[in-house]
């Protein structure tokens, strides 16, 4: 054990019967120091039960005595390959995290800040504070203003997704009544629905139990799903928000009788930036980030989300929030 701590090997071969300390204890101690070191057990009495016991304590494999040099070399080579793959995936994760951090800093400082400053200048010009401009110029600047604001919205949605931290969310947990969240989201989205002549309906029992959650994240989930039901709908359509209590979950069902989603796209709609068929969506503005934000948040609640849809008929998103969720 002293040598293990000094040398920190990639792989150890442990005899089960040793003087002073048993192999099982050594395995357990190594497991608690670094569970990713590959541990191979050498056993003189290769009974199934001792092998199973060793595996339970984190061993990768075992080899019964006596063995030939070829046998031990083979098992060591396989163990080292596993270790190499583990170290490689660890390095990839570190690299991925470095890229993510760089992107966050690039988006917020190098992209968002200058765009926000540009919008301010454009609004000064549009407000006439920088002198008189022709109506043609005003129209063009207006369009620039709208397009840059859309870009800013996309950047802030992406930042929201990339910086989402479940631990931070759990710090703000309190008892939340989902009926209240549903009601407020409907209130916020009413103007958008009225513009498209879509009715919003809330169905809920009087005795819905509260869930432990953060209001901001739940509002984000409801707003995204309800606004999608409005956006991908036709005039005269409806969006129904149904809340009910299941055995182990509180359930939210948001359905609409809108455009629906073709089966082939259903498995990808929760992916970042995924939008169904550019042409159908072309007049409908969006970033393809809304559902990935929703999915990430539902996962952080230990919940599940699924979707059912028929092209041309409508879509239903169903979420289950576990009643006994402990962050």
Which SS3 state, helix, strand or coil, does residue 195 take? helix
Q: Which is nearer to ligand ADP, 4 or 274 (CB)?
A: 274
Q: Which is nearer to ligand ADP, 21 or 285 (CB)?
A: 285
Q: Which two tokens stand for residue 327?
A: 């962050």
Sign of CA dihedral 162, 166, 170, 173: positive
The reply on whether position 258 binds ligand ADP by CB under 6 A is: yes
The reply on whether position 276 binds ligand ADP by CB under 6 A is: yes
Q: Which is nearer to ligand ADP, 182 or 258 (CB)?
A: 258
Measured in degrees and rounded to the nearest 5, phi and psi for residue 142 equal: -55, -45
Work out which of 261, 298, 300, 319 binds ligand ADP, going by CB under 6 A: 261
Tell me the C-alpha distance between 161 and 159, whole Å.
5
The reply on whether position 291 binds ligand ADP by CB under 6 A is: yes
Strands 199-203 and 211-213: unpaired
DSSP conformation letters of 290-309? HHHHHHHHHHHTT-EEEEEE
The reply on whether position 220 binds ligand ADP by CB under 6 A is: no
The reply on whether position 320 binds ligand ADP by CB under 6 A is: no
The reply on whether position 222 binds ligand ADP by CB under 6 A is: no
The reply on whether position 213 binds ligand ADP by CB under 6 A is: no
Work out which of 41, 176, 237, 275 binds ligand ADP, going by CB under 6 A: 275
Sign of CA dihedral 8, 14, 16, 21: negative
Residues forming the site for ligand ADP (CB under 6 A) = 224, 228-229, 232, 256, 258-261, 269, 274-276, 281, 286-291, 315
């Amino acid at each position: 054990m002293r040598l293990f701590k000094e040398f920190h090997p990639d792989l150890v071969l442990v005899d089960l019967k040793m003087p002073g300390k048993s192999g099982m204890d050594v395995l357990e101690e190594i497991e608690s120091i670094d569970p990713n070191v590959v541990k191979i057990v050498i056993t003189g009495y290769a009974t199934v039960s001792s092998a199973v016991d060793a595996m339970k304590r984190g061993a990768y494999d075992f080899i019964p005595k006596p063995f030939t040099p070829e046998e031990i070399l083979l098992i060591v080579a396989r163990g080292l390959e596993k270790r190499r793959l583990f170290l490689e995936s660890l390095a990839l994760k570190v690299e991925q995290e470095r890229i993510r951090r760089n992107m966050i800093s690039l988006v917020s400082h190098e992209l968002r800040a200058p765009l926000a400053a540009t919008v301010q200048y454009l609004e000064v010009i549009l407000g006439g504070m920088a002198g008189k401009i022709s109506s043609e110029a005003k129209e063009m600047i207006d369009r620039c203003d709208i397009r840059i604001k859309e870009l800013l919205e996309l950047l802030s949605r992406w930042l929201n997704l990339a910086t989402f931290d479940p631990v931070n969310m759990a710090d703000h947990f309190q008892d939340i009544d989902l009926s209240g969240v549903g009601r407020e989201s409907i209130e916020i989205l009413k103007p958008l629905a009225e513009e498209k002549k879509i009715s919003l309906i809330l169905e809920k029992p009087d005795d819905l139990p509260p869930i432990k959650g953060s209001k901001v994240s739940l509002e984000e989930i409801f707003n995204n799903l309800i606004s999608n039901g409005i956006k991908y709908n036709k005039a005269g359509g409806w969006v129904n928000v149904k809340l009910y209590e299941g055995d182990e979950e509180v359930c939210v069902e948001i359905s609409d009788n809108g455009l629906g989603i073709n089966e082939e796209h259903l498995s990808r709609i929760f992916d970042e930036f995924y939008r169904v068929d550019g042409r159908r969506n072309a007049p409908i503005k969006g970033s393809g980030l809304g559902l990935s934000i929703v999915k990430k948040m539902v996962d952080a609640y230990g919940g599940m989300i699924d979707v059912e849809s028929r092209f041309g008929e409508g879509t239903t998103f169903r979420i289950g929030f576990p009643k006994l969720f402990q962050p």
